Structure 1
Amino acid sequence: MMALPAAARGTLVCAALCAAALAAPALRPGAHTPWTTLALLAALYACCELPARCRLLGRALGGAAPLGAGTFFPVLLAAALLLPPAAAALAALPGALAARVEQRPAGPRRVWRAAQLALAVWAAARTAELLGGPAALAPAQFPRILLVALAAAAVFSLVLTALDGAIRVAAERRPARTAWRGLLAPALAAHTVHGLAGLMTAVLWRSAYGPAAALFVLLPMYISCWVFAQYHRERAAHQGTIRALVQAVDLKDTYTRGHSERVGRASVLIARELGMAEDRVEILRFAGILHDIGKLGVPTRVLRKDGPLTPEERRVIELHPEYGHEIVRGIGFLGEARAAILHHHERMDGSGYPYGLRGDGIPEFARVVAVADAFDAMTSTRSYSRARPVDTALTELRRCAGTQFDPRMVHALARALDRHGWQTAVTSDEPAPAAPTPAGALPAPRPYADRAAGPRPAPRTGP
């Protein structure tokens, strides 16, 4: 506890003392505490938390036990409906103390979690008791017990949120006016669902079938949480793969460090303006981030060459889309992104590479990435060219629309930038050229995605 700020230690001690005081009446002689129900619910909650703590069980579940805080709150809310307030507070303690802690110091964090849950469950049980409590669990009381359960879940959520904000102020020294921001709405939504599951558990517990029947409510919930955890593990693995590939490109081509992430961001702006489904937007973001992954197959001396490229060097550069496609060929989750990586240098008039596709024959993702790529190349400062203003870059994109770029993608980017704006940054490790540009003589805009592609004449529009 010495690692904690004094305010955090004080908050922790106060919460623990309050929780102990509220739970103590259940331990007094003559309290008529339903120890069997209490022990079963406490053991059930602890068993639910155990796989996240135990490595052996975690491996048995494929390393994806549900780890999210609140996954098993239906058990606690069932306890709030079945037990007196003091006993309900005790039901939370074993599982809270056994729960997995990701950050240090682990001991104080477990004590805080146990005190926080004991206080929240006590408040929920007290609310249920005032509204009729266990007596309302009879089938004939269905509309009433539904309201009781929702009220208990709301109070449970409010207490947890209040304590979460308090520890933010005490331990993280956040301003009080912002400490609770964004906490209540998500908690209320989640805990309302937990309250309904807890209600079903409590009703079955009190039914003729007994406590064993209540497990049929928790089993599907546990399985769904396991599947959800698997999804997040897979998503984290995808993100890790993307990060590793991008870092490899950035290390090799320092001229365009940060370029890939910004192309991904611009691609997302275009996609959302076009109304693409969110699953496609995510894949398109991957396409933007990985569009230059083929540079890993291009000699470093060519990528970092400051002077003009020879015809042979230019041919080597123009192979990078095909190299990129080969690199990501076996990464199944990229889907349409693979086509964007291969074709993002195609042009609407058919003069692009590697295959000279034209018009709608170019995959949609590739047409989006081409515009995003060119836009960032023009608006980023590098050692070989100064950044252009956003308006200048958009003017150039519009001029090239129909010949090099898909006009629909250009218009979508313009609308998105008008709505959200754009923040540029220096992407080269080297300083920008010091010599001032003569007044009225801007260097020619270069909307062609990267310096490595070498200079090429701007496409003409019209006859």
Structure 2
Amino acid sequence: MKAIPAAARAYILGALLCAGACAFPLWRGAAVPWSTLLMLAGLYAVCELPARRRHHGGSVPVAAGSFFPVLLAAAFLLPPAAAVLVAVPGALVGRVEQRPAGIRRIWRAAQLALATWGAAQAYLALGGDRALRAPDFPYVLLPAAAGALAFCLVVTVLEGGILAAAVGAPPTPGGLRGKAPVRTAWHGLLLRSLAPHCVHGLAGLMMAVLWRSPYGPLSALFVLLPMYISCWIFAQYHRERAAHQATIRALVQAVDIKDKYTRGHSERVGHASVLIARELRMDTERLEVLRFAGILHDVGKLGVPTRVLRKDGPLTPQERRVIELHPEYGHEMVRGIGFLGEARAAILHHHERLDGSGYPYGLVGRQIPEFARVVAVADAFDAMTSTRSYRRARPVAAALAELKRCAGTQFDPQMVRALTRALERHGWETAVTSDEAGARGNVPPPGRATGPEPVRTAVRGPGPDGPA
């Protein structure tokens, strides 16, 4: 339990006690259709066993939430106190990727037990049990929808609560304090889960109707067939996504090996780009592609001679021109990777400037693609706040001040404001990116820094490799 903060452990204990209280009427001799309870609990457990499978790239979540119709069917068929128990066996036998596995399984069991109890209560409150006996369509749809909504609300509230309890935001070395995630823990959870839970509610209602039909429980299993099909599709998607990420990791590692001065820089630029994108309220798909753009923005350095990248002294004009070709090299390298989408334009244009003085094409203002304007700000910010072997990092506040000073000429002011807001919310963790021994000894390689303020040079002008 060392990996789980004390506040989160207390939160889990509270949820577990609440789940026990919901099931308490069973111990007082409440009437329960035990055969239905045991069959549904066993069915959910069997469904959860293959819910996560392993493949060559690691584990793939095959059926996250895909078998909630079984729990919702239990909420429609059983008394609330009995429905609580249906989720427990499946939650306890399901695969858990992170440790400690035991406490995470207990949390999952408590969460789903409470959600099922809430769904059963909402369903009964609107007379769902009476409407199901006929069954009385379309009136039974209303209590079923209420049950699905209650299930969704309970899962969302509990999920946000555990995130708020488990995640902290300490002060950052740059001086900006990250705010506690309580305000943002529930952000977007309900909207993302509402539609899927409504579909699960409809499937659960179909299971309940068939369960009580003359054909019996066996007929209800046919409702799960589409769930297994969705599992397979979901698995294929995650396998493809894992392959994409493996490709990107290989490219980034190759860049890090070739240019030791920017080790770790690419991942942080991807993270900063995502922070900006969230402030701009980009949709999830674009946000993921923008993260790829940030991670791969310097992939073109693979086409630059190593002797130029690692040269200790000042670069000649010809060597500088070779360095400035790296966005075009990068674009050529990734142009055939279809899933990158808009990221390809960001890789090509992340050194353009609003005033037209950038490279490779000297684009002006809105001619520069949006992703490129985001990555340019993230790139420069990380360059200034990272400790390199040839100069020390700037504080976050100083780096932001420099970005604001250059906004409107080099950087898009909208992106600078978005990064500022994001850092006020979440903070920023600086890190040593390369050659840590040299940085700790404060012994820069002779001639690598081209002036008394290398960071300012990197932001104002197209330094040897741009802001990075």
Q: TM-score range by the shorter chain?
A: 0.5 to 0.7
- One-letter identity of the residue aligned with 1:206: R
Task: Find the aligned partners of 1:267 and 1:261 in 2 and give their Cα distance.
Answer: 10
Question: Against the structure 1 CA distance between its residues 135 and 105, is the aligned structure 2 distance closer, same or farther, given a 3 Å change threshold?
Answer: same
Question: Against the structure 1 CA distance between its residues 186 and 171, is the aligned structure 2 distance closer, same or farther, given a 3 Å change threshold?
Answer: closer
Query: Unaligned regions of 5+ residues in structure 2, if any?
Result: 170-179, 445-450
Give the match for residue 102 of structure 1: 97
Is the contact made by 1:292 and 1:324 (CA closer than 8 Å) also made in structure 2? yes
Counterpart pick for 1:288 among 281, 284, 294: 294
The answer on 1:246 being equivalent to 2:248 is no
Give the match for residue 337 of structure 1: 343
Return the structure number with greater relative CO, CA threshold 8 A, min gap 6: 2
Is the contact made by 2:116 and 2:151 (CA closer than 8 Å) also made in structure 1? yes
Give the match for residue 406 of structure 1: none
- Cα shift readout 1:21-54 (whole Å, capped 9, x = no counterpart): 544578x9xx57362x44543343223212126x
Give the match for residue 460 of structure 2: 447
**Structure 2 matches for 1:1-400, cutoff 5 A?**
21-23=24-26, 33=33, 35=35, 37-52=36-51, 64=60, 66-68=62-64, 70-85=65-80, 87-107=82-102, 109-110=104-105, 113-114=108-109, 117-118=112-113, 120-122=115-117, 124-125=119-120, 128-129=123-124, 132-138=127-133, 141-142=136-137, 144-153=139-148, 156=151, 182=185, 186=189, 189=194, 191-207=197-213, 210-257=216-263, 259-261=265-267, 263-264=269-270, 279-311=285-317, 313-342=319-348, 344=350, 364=369, 368=373, 371-372=376-377, 375-376=380-381, 379-380=384-385, 383=390, 390=400, 392-396=402-406, 398-399=408-409
- One-letter identity of the residue aligned with 1:96: A
Question: Against the structure 1 CA distance between its residues 372 and 46, is the aligned structure 2 distance closer, same or farther, given a 3 Å change threshold?
Answer: same
- Cα shift readout 1:213-237 (whole Å, capped 9, x = no counterpart): 5345433344335434543444354
Task: Find the aligned partners of 1:225 and 1:293 in 2 and give their Cα distance.
Answer: 35
Tell which deviates more after alignment, 361-370 or 73-82.
Answer: 361-370
Task: Find the aligned partners of 2:3 and 2:404 in 1 and give their Cα distance.
Answer: 53
Task: Find the aligned partners of 2:114 and 2:276 in 1 and give their Cα distance.
Answer: 48
Is the contact made by 2:308 and 2:319 (CA closer than 8 Å) also made in structure 1? yes
- Cα shift readout 1:307-350 (whole Å, capped 9, x = no counterpart): 21135533543443344345435533223433443455568999
TM-score normalized by structure 1?
0.66
Give the match for residue 459 of structure 1: none
- Cα shift readout 1:198-223 (whole Å, capped 9, x = no counterpart): 22322233345554553454333443
Determine what percentage of the aligned residue pairs are the same residue: 56
Question: Against the structure 1 CA distance between its residues 47 and 283, is the aligned structure 2 distance closer, same or farther, given a 3 Å change threshold?
Answer: same
- One-letter identity of the residue aligned with 2:41: A
- Cα shift readout 1:181-210 (whole Å, capped 9, x = no counterpart): 846984683655533432232223334555
Question: Against the structure 1 CA distance between its residues 77 and 181, is the aligned structure 2 distance closer, same or farther, given a 3 Å change threshold?
Answer: farther
| 3-state DSSP of counterpart to 1:51 | coil
Is the contact made by 2:297 and 2:350 (CA closer than 8 Å) also made in structure 1? yes
Query: Unaligned regions of 5+ residues in structure 1, if any?
Result: 401-408, 455-463
- Cα shift readout 1:258-288 (whole Å, capped 9, x = no counterpart): 5435654676688789997764454344223
CA apart distance, 1:449: 4.7
- One-letter identity of the residue aligned with 2:74: A
Task: Find the aligned partners of 2:393 and 2:140 in 1 and give their Cα distance.
Answer: 68
- One-letter identity of the residue aligned with 1:101: V
Is the contact made by 1:262 and 1:376 (CA closer than 8 Å) also made in structure 2? no
- One-letter identity of the residue aligned with 1:410: D
CA apart distance, 1:78: 0.9
- Cα shift readout 1:71-128 (whole Å, capped 9, x = no counterpart): 3222112122123445534543443343223334545654564465456545644564
TM-score normalized by structure 2?
0.66
Give the match for residue 410 of structure 1: 412
| 3-state DSSP of counterpart to 1:309 | coil
| Residues matched between the structures, number | 428
- Cα shift readout 1:287-322 (whole Å, capped 9, x = no counterpart): 233221122343444323342113553354344334
Is the contact made by 1:259 and 1:376 (CA closer than 8 Å) also made in structure 2? no
- Cα shift readout 1:232-271 (whole Å, capped 9, x = no counterpart): 4443543454345334434543434554356546766887
- Cα shift readout 1:42-69 (whole Å, capped 9, x = no counterpart): 343223212126x5xx66xx9756242x
Is the contact made by 1:260 and 1:292 (CA closer than 8 Å) also made in structure 2? yes
| 3-state DSSP of counterpart to 1:314 | helix
| 3-state DSSP of counterpart to 2:66 | coil
Task: Find the aligned partners of 1:102 and 1:444 in 2 and give their Cα distance.
Answer: 45
Is the contact made by 1:393 and 1:445 (CA closer than 8 Å) also made in structure 2? no
